[in-house]
Structure 1
Amino acid sequence: MASPISCKSIFLLPLIATSLFFQVSNATFEVKADQALIDSICEQTQDVDFCKSTFNADPRTPAADRDGLGLLSIAINIDVVQATIDDTIPKIVKTLTDPVDKQRIQVCLTDYNDALVILKSAYTASSEKNYKEVIGLITDAANKIVDCDGAYRKSPPIREPPISGENDKVTKLTDITYICYY
């Protein structure tokens, strides 16, 4: 009579082998973000060094494929916009005395809040692989940042926005997202 262990082995070994084969074969179809993929995306952006340093600094990058890098760029952008709304703008408001500057930073706060809503919609669209919608939404978010910049540059007194660094980051991140999905 056959031992119970050998009977179980007859059923388990093919199951284990099939499971291992399935995992290995599926892994070959997914291209993860190696440096060559990051370079191929970043070389198309306006600021190659910013793009590379952004992806290389984020621990989620190695697990992402090209679409995942697009999603990641949106997530990073959401973080930048949220930090600007929560931290940067309130600190600036406390230092302002000029009524024109106070009004302008409020315009930027509104634009950043709008951009945040748009970026969250872009994240959802990207998760659903609706890349045409992502491109439109990313363009809309970038335009909100242009509007913020315009609040300081379109009428006198013309000044550099106090959040010009944040404006640049958001714009560069939208550029990265656009490259990932175009």
Structure 2
Amino acid sequence: MATTTTLIKHITFLLLLLLFVLIASPIVNAMLVKDVHAFCKETNDVNFCLKYIGADKRISAARDLNDVLLIVFSQCKIQVTEATKHISKVRQKFSGPIGKERIKFCERNYGLASGLFQEAYETGKQKALAYRAHLTAQSGSDYVRKCEEEWKKNGPIQKSPVTFYNTNVIKLFSIIRVIISKVKT
């Protein structure tokens, strides 16, 4: 009877130990907060990086820079989606032919950028294709930038209604470049 009780205790202990190891494993492989802070210090805008990357809920599950890269691609797509919503809200403020054309141009460009950032995300899931994903994201950033430039040409200069989102995408892309410089194979 004592041996059965001891055996049950040992089996229970081993099962609990195994459960603990299985639960703790993802935490052990996750990036540490200090690593995220150290990474953000290498970017052009530390506070921006900490706000959009360091505070992203997915960062706690990131195992390496490739996972961080996926988060940045996703953040770019979020910015583009928010810009598209904003364009819909401000469309009526631009009733003249030039304003309407600029809004249409930006809406088209942000739609293309959205698809490219999604493609970058999907491609980036394969670590070996990180550089290709970076090039796809660069094309998305170019579409966003061209939207911003459109407000300064082909007629009177106007303040772009999506400057905030454009700036965020450009800053996120600078973070992508930092990651790519570190993971380049």
State whether structure 2 residue 127 is matched by structure 1 residue 118: no
SS at match of 1:157: coil
Segment of structure 1 superposing worse, 54-63 or 97-106:
54-63
Unaligned runs of 5+ in 2: none
Residue 174 of structure 1 and its aligned partner are, at CA, apart by 1.7
Distance 1:42 1:6, change over 3 A: closer
Unaligned runs of 5+ in 1: none
Distance 1:81 1:24, change over 3 A: closer
TM-score of the two chains, using structure 1 as the length reference: 0.81
Q: Is 2:94–2:100's contact at 8 Å kept on the other side of the alignment?
A: yes
Residue 29 of structure 1 and its aligned partner are, at CA, apart by 6.6
**RMSD after superposition:** 2.8
Equivalent residue in structure 2 for 1:104, among 102, 105, 116: 102
Q: How many percent of aligned residue pairs carry the same amino acid?
A: 22
What is aligned with 2:146? 147
Which amino acid is the alignment partner of residue 70 of structure 1? L
In the TM superposition, 1:17-166 aligns within 5 A as 19=18, 23=22, 30-34=29-33, 36-65=34-63, 66-85=65-84, 87-129=85-127, 130-166=129-165
TM-score of the two chains, using structure 2 as the length reference: 0.80
Mapped to 2, the partners of 1:33 and 1:155 lie a distance apart of 49
Distance 1:159 1:25, change over 3 A: closer
Mapped to 1, the partners of 2:90 and 2:45 lie a distance apart of 27
Distance 1:39 1:3, change over 3 A: closer
Paired residues, number: 179
